Amino acid sequence: MTLVVDNKWGDETRPGPSHVAIIMDGNGRWAAERRLPRVEGHRRGVEAVRRVVEASRDLGVTHLTLFSFSSENWSRPAKEISDLFGLLRRFIRRDLADLHKNGVRIRIIGSRGGFDADIQRMLDDAVELTKDNGTLHLTIAFNYGSRNEIMRAAERFAEDIKAGVRAPGDMTEDLFGAYLDTNELPDPDLLIRTSGELRLSNFLLWQLAYAEFVFVDTYWPDFDKADYEEALAEFRRRNRRFGGRSVRSMA
Q: Which residues are catalytic?
A: 25, 73
The amino acid that residue 182 corresponds to is: T
Q: What CA–CA distance (Å, rounded) separates 30 from 40? A: 9
Compute and round to an integer the Cα radius of gyration of the chain. 19
Per 3-state DSSP, the chain is made up of helix, strand and coil in percentages (nearest 5) of: 45, 15, 40
What angle separates helix 38-58 from helix 78-101, to the nearest 10 degrees?
A: 20
Sheet order of strands, 19-23 included = 104-109, 136-144, 63-70, 19-23, 190-193, 212-215
Q: What CA–CA distance (Å, rounded) separates 127 from 82? A: 22
Provide the Cα torsion 88, 180, 22, 90; round to 10°.
Answer: -10
How does strand 63-70 pair with strand 136-144?
A: parallel
